[in-house]
Chains A and B, each alone.
Chain A
């Protein structure tokens, strides 16, 4: 499987070529090149998945881990060294397929969406960079390689959020995303260092003998790593960057901030799952509570946002919360006894990537048509954009968890895993699933039904998006329709053994009822044009509504903590110390040398005879000194 290196090298090549040639390349040429390269990468990934899973299970009944490439990159002495290589196992192969598929779709889609933008070539080169880094992250053979690519995806995310760098909001959002995730990555790095120091390796699966002594520190190391994962995956309270990241172009939101990069934290936890389950189950359960709270918080906020991309952003946060919860509620590595959540989480990651990318791309079509993100500019769009309408509806039904769409199957497994962990967790997550259905259909009705903004639409008639944009929609909708029938447990499970998914109809019926209730309430509140109930509720609970609309003031709290407390009480005194004491000392030294030089500059008088005397005196002095010693 040596050809897998091409999966990394091709997008990198495309990044370098398009990036270096820049505007010397025609926009179309850059786009076609990037798209073709991504297409080849996708085919290679499919082929990799086909041959990897086609090779069959080994004697222990698991798909064996394969490392087609591995090179020692940085030795530290002792056994500690950083490798760069490619690791193939069920989850990394699954991620390869997800990333290349979504990336390929986004590349095609961007043709239509970004048409005529300045910096079209730059956009495609950054997309390639992102694809390369994300693929490198999932195939990392060790935690440090993962960290390197982890930062690279952070950089490409920063570059793409700030793509419209002339807009102030975009610049601020890109900085925010970078700083917040970088701050979380500090925890990740410290975790890696602790891990490397005590176990003596950066491997994902260190020898049990080595761990014996490091056991005490593993929970700490894994907890710190989860902080990094929480930053990337926008877990509360580090989620603040993701809604703002919607300032980037919509296809970028679909690729990076919905389907691939934001699930890196989930992937990290899944990657470290054997260690979590073996040595730090309590840390794993903490992640479950963090995930559950995040899911609830984001779902509530998503219910009242008016910017459609913000709704989708909070929905993403909520769904990632689901995945984290699902991993967190695992109590053993046996899928039949408490390890179901692992499979469920990966399954949901897969299906969510598809339907959330679809939702974002659909939102992109809508924004393309009405030139606004606000719901008030939409309404009644179903007549104008039939393809977008149907595919968006499919995705909404999938995320709400309606049989037989993919979201139903994965969410059902997650809820089953939660109920096995504790009934409370199960009911909370079921409630959030209901909320999900509600806010998604609120969004759906607000965009496609309800009162049309006639004024705006008369001025600029909405139209269906071009084929380059609708084809990806149709493809992703087809995947969303069918992906639920993939026997996912056969490929991925917590201990690698085949796990046959059987739907727990008790749980499924409950979640279906709740989803139906959510959709029903949304229909009742938002289908009709007058919106009496919705506005009535909003005025009745105006305090709660406002708080939720302002995202429960988390950003304001951050603003307060950073500006009023950290900047004012810590940074300002330190800055004062730096300006006055440290710089002052240096200025004093400069001042002294200056004054001294004024004192002695008279020695250089320009008078040759004076120099002669100095010379003679010096020679005499030296002679005396040499004679004396």
Chain B
């Protein structure tokens, strides 16, 4: 039986990969994927905590399902925004998106 800590290590690594990707990728799509990684690491945490700490209850599972649903919607919105940015600027480089400032 795999220990709970291993799952947590995997989710932590995923989380930091996601953060690193979010901060360093130059492409909006890659940044979106990084955000998804962060979300998925959280989902893993939910499931793992429910499975090991509160067996016989279902809140954690349901919450992770809920978060997957939300992230699907969020992805759809984000993709739509990115498509629109592409139509306007002919690229999706994040460094070009600095119009919204002082």
Contact = CB atoms under 8 A, between A and B. Distances in A.
A608 B102 contact: no
B19 A608 contact: no
A616 interface: yes
Contact of B94 (A608, A613, A616): A608
Interface string A85-124: 0000000000000000000000000000000000000000
B98 A613 contact: no
A608 B97 contact: yes
B53 interface: no
Contact of A604 (B94, B97, B99, B101): B101
A601 interface: yes
Contacts of B31: 608-609
Interface in B79-101: 94-95, 97-101
Contacts, number: 27
Interface in A574-629: 601, 604-609, 612-613, 616
Nearest to B95: A607
B102 A612 contact: no
A606 B98 contact: yes
B90 to A, nearest CB: 19
A514 to B, nearest CB: 88
Nearest to A609: B23
A259 B26 CA distance: 91
Interface string A287-309: 00000000000000000000000
Contacts of B24: 609
B22 A604 contact: no
A605 B22 contact: no
Contacts of A608: 31, 94, 97
A612 B22 contact: yes
Contacts of B97: 606-608
B101 A613 contact: no
B94 A606 contact: no
Contact of B23 (A605, A606, A613): A613
B98 A609 contact: no
Contact of A612 (B23, B95, B99, B101): B23
A621 to B, nearest CB: 16
Contact of A607 (B19, B22, B94): B94
A606 B22 CA distance: 15
A612 B23 CA distance: 7
A616 B19 contact: yes
A601 B19 CA distance: 25
Nearest to A601: B102
Contacts of A612: 22-23
A599 B97 CA distance: 22
A608 B23 CA distance: 9
Nearest to B98: A606
B94 A605 contact: no
B62 to A, nearest CB: 27
A607 B101 CA distance: 8
Nearest to A607: B98
Contacts of A605: 98, 101
Nearest to A598: B102
A607 B22 CA distance: 12
Nearest to B22: A612
B102 A604 contact: yes
A230 B102 CA distance: 64
B94 A609 contact: yes
Nearest to A597: B102
A606 B100 contact: yes
Nearest to B19: A616
Contacts of A609: 22-24, 31, 94
Interface string B2-33: 00000000000000000100111000000100
A101 B19 CA distance: 93
Given A609-B22, A609-B23, A612-B23, 10 more contacts: A601-B102, A606-B98, A606-B101, A607-B95, A608-B94, A608-B97, A609-B24, A609-B31, A616-B19, A616-B23
24 contacts: A601-B102, A604-B102, A605-B98, A605-B101, A606-B97, A606-B98, A606-B99, A606-B101, A607-B94, A607-B95, A607-B97, A607-B98, A608-B31, A608-B94, A608-B97, A609-B22, A609-B23, A609-B24, A609-B31, A609-B94, A612-B22, A612-B23, A613-B23, A616-B23
Interface of A: 601, 604-609, 612-613, 616
Q: Which 4 A-B pairs have the closest CB atoms?
A: A606-B101, A606-B98, A601-B102, A606-B100
